[in-house]
Structure 1
Amino acid sequence: MSAPLSPNFNLSAAVAIALISVTAVGAGAVGAAASPSAVPTISLLDGKTFVAQSGEKGKQASNKDTIAFRYGRFLSEGCSPYGFGDAPYQATVDGAAVRFHAETHSPTHGTMIWDGIVKDDAIEATSIWNRERWYWKIKREYWYRGQRKK
């Protein structure tokens, strides 16, 4: 047998609190186990796009690239025609700069491992392109230097 409700009990307030709690957990509140696709990730470089010169390590610039950070994902537009899509990136603060790391994959051209640093409106990065077949391997390193797109 349950006790009778107190005259000060507000059923509407109790229901509202319960709904807010369920909604917060479903939206990815701290401690919740939300699906990564259900909650957009915001990272340190999100919303920034850079236009960069690039070239093979030890050589002069031979290409232009646009590097974009959106919703926790990294994209090299110059690599898109080769099947390299966007990928999650990790970013950490290093003094007045932000360091980042990403790995992009192409079904036909292999993997690119990206590391770079953004300070103010400038970006400097490297990528290592790996493509392996059973009878040969390619491993090339590229550099990127550019400015934030206005």
Structure 2
Amino acid sequence: MKQLVARFFSFLALAFVLSFFGAAKANAEGVLDGLVFSGMIGPAQNPDLADSLYFDEGRFWSDICTQCGFAPGTYDAAETADGIRFSGTLESDSRGRFDYDGLVQDDGTIQVSITWERRRWYWTSRREIAFVGALSTQRKVASLADVIQAMQSLDPEGNPLCARF
């Protein structure tokens, strides 16, 4: 009988620990939700285009990227000693993918390394891009649904800005 009770309590303890770690991961994924960062995006050595990076509902996107057909993507985030580290991918059917790896520091600044990869059957192109900026307190997050709906009417091929991507 003592062994049965001991096993029962061991099971309860294990269930508690697993639920705690599962909840911590779930909370970490949306830790940036509701935030907007304004800054510059472009070549890693010299970002030269004004852009904003949005986080909401466990997804992220940028103004320029959505205008060029890159759909909002999911992100993962974790609090570290250096700040909040996040990663995620934005994909486009015709323009490839952007893999983001960023850090939001305690002072509200953000630095993101972005690898752009575009695959064709005859070649693969890769470029290193960067986004640098700061937390914006003056902008409200556009809803994810509104961004997705607005993307339906965009024509990336007709946008000269998108020729860079």
TM-score of the aligned structures, taking structure 2 as reference length? 0.62
Provide Cα deviations, 1:94-133, integer angstroms capped at 9, x if missing partner.
Answer: 1151000001110110111000000131110011111011
Please give the residue correspondences for 1:1-150 in structure 2 after superposition, counting only pairs within 5 Å: 43-58=30-45, 60-120=46-106, 121-150=108-137
Q: Which of these two proteins has the greater Rg computed from alpha carbons?
A: 1
CA contact (8 A) 1:50 1:123 kept: yes
Determine helix, strand or coil for the equivalent of 1:141: strand
Contact persistence 1:49–1:66 (CA under 8 A): yes
SS at match of 1:134: coil
CA distances 1:17-69 after superposition (whole Å, capped 9, x unpaired): xxxxxxxxxxxxx6xxxxxxxxxx961111110001122123x2321111011
Q: Distance in 2 between matches of 1:82 and 1:117?
A: 24
Runs of 4 or more off by more than 4 Å in structure 1?
A: none
Q: Which runs of 5+ in 1 are unaligned?
A: 1-29, 31-40
Aligned length: 110
Greater strand fraction, Structure 1 or Structure 2 = 1
Give the structure 1 partner of residue 10 of structure 2.
none
Question: What is the root-mean-square deviation of aligned Cα atoms in Å?
Answer: 1.6
Structure 2: how far apart are the matches of 1:123 and 1:71?
19
- Distance in 1, matches of 2:50 and 2:74, equals 22
Matches of 1:102 and 1:127, distance apart in 2: 10
Contact 2:29 2:76 in 1 (8 A): no
Contact persistence 1:54–1:142 (CA under 8 A): yes
| Higher share of residues assigned helix | 2
User: Does structure 1 conserve the Cα–Cα contact (< 8 Å) formed by 2:29 and 2:77?
Assistant: no
Amino acid at match of 2:136: K
Q: Using the aligned pairs only, state the percent identity.
A: 31
Can you give the 5+ residue segments of structure 2 that lack an aligned partner in the other structure? 1-18, 20-27, 138-165
Query: Partners in 2 of 1:50 and 1:108 — Cα distance?
Result: 26
